[in-house]
Amino acid sequence: MKRSIGFAAAVALATGLAAGAAGAQELKISHQFKANADGRDLATRVFVEEVGKRDKNIKFRIYPGSSLGIKPVAQFDALQNGTLEMAVFPMSYATGKAAEFSAVILPGTIPNLDFAMKLRKSPYAEKLQALAHKNGVHIVTWWWTPGGFASKEGAITGPKSVDGLKMRAADPTFESMLKAAGASVVNMPSTEIYPALQSGVLSATLTSAETFVSMRLYEQTKFATVPGDYTIWMLMQPLVMSKQHWDKLSPQQQQIFEEAAAKSDDFFLGLQREAGEKMAEAYTKAGGKVHRMTKDEFDQWLALARETSWKEFAAVSPEAKDLLDALLQTK
């Protein structure tokens, strides 16, 4: 009798160990940003650490600086087909798949970080998640990056100041506003901005304050308009997950991811509140000139955005109009 109990216990132990091993997972996280320096990488590591505190069976491997061999925009395809589990992904890069993703960068609709954080539990967030699910991804974190302008040729203030410049903006509807102001536009991911400025393909750019610093764009531009009380450029760049892989998580694991995401959101928000000043410091140290957008300049851009980007976006589809209406109705 004792022998049979011992045997049963051994079988149970072995089964438990096997189940634990089977439950262990390693998820790949890809992104284009600099390791241990860029806030998007740092916040990713906070997320990973927080998940690890709650479930040691879930493992991650982070591939910064496009080191997994997937180009920034192509990460979306890999997420959709499930060959990539997770990525830090500027959502405007997905407009080639669904034009409605311009809702995460429409000029002037998200004027500051406080407004961006109000959106986290809003109808807009629900509609955006539904759009993501429809396109095979799940938005895990709520990371927003304020951005600004930089130019080789002179300070960028109101719309008239971009006339004749060759610019990058990261979104088709944003580009329509710049074209109306007299700029020509070139579409590229942020990883290509530095060489494009260096070669003369670009004479100016719009991107996040974080990117201006981590990708050393202050080496190729001299005039910076940094985010502060007013910014026309705000982009959602969250940690996202392949919907296929999100659905494979247990409800308990999904809850763990959401708890870890909330911790990373708080961390990332703190970094972004400082990002404008760090951009200003980087340009000042490099001998550049720093400008902060005035309310009058912001209002000029906003008036132009309403007549160009907003109208163009609302006409994309009923879903796009719903997203814009949800944004404009948030107080």
Alpha-carbon distance values, 25 to 47, 60, 86, 180, 248 (Å): 16, 8, 13, 50, 11
pLDDT at 11 over 70: no
Q: Give the model's pLDDT for residue 1.
A: 39
For the chain, which domains are there? 24-329 (3.40.190.170)
pTM: 0.89
Cα angle for residues 259, 265, 269 (degrees, 5° grid): 160
pLDDT (tens digit per residue) in 185-204: 998 999 999 999 999 999 99
- DSSP class per residue in 272-294: HHHHHHHHHHHHHHTT-EEEE--
pLDDT in tens, 272-328: 999 999 999 999 999 999 999 999 999 999 999 999 999 999 999 999 999 999 999
Mean pLDDT, all residues of the chain: 92
Banded pLDDT at 4 (limits 50, 70, 90): very low
pLDDT bracket for residue 22 (50, 70, 90): very low
> Is residue 12 over pLDDT 90?
no
17 vs 82: which has the higher pLDDT: 82
pLDDT of residue 24: 60
CA distances from 323 to 48, 66, 113, 127, 141 (A): 30, 31, 19, 7, 19
Share of the chain above pLDDT 70, in %: 93
Alpha carbons within 13 angstroms on the beta-carbon side of residue 133 total: 8
pLDDT, mean of residues 31-50: 96
Confidence of residue 230 (pLDDT cuts 50, 70, 90): confident
At 108-166, the pLDDT tens digits run 999 899 999 999 999 999 999 999 999 999 999 999 999 999 999 999 999 999 999 99
pLDDT digits (tens, 9 = 90+) for 70-92: 999 999 999 999 999 999 999 99
Tell me what pLDDT residue 13 has. Answer: 37
Pairing of strands 25-30, 166-168: unpaired
From the list 34, 29, 58, 244, the residue with the least C-alpha distance to 141 is 29
| DSSP3 helix / strand / coil % (the chain, rounded to 5) | 55, 15, 30
Is the model's pLDDT at 31 over the cut of 90?
yes
Range 101-113 average pLDDT: 94
pLDDT: is 183 or 228 the higher one?
Answer: 183
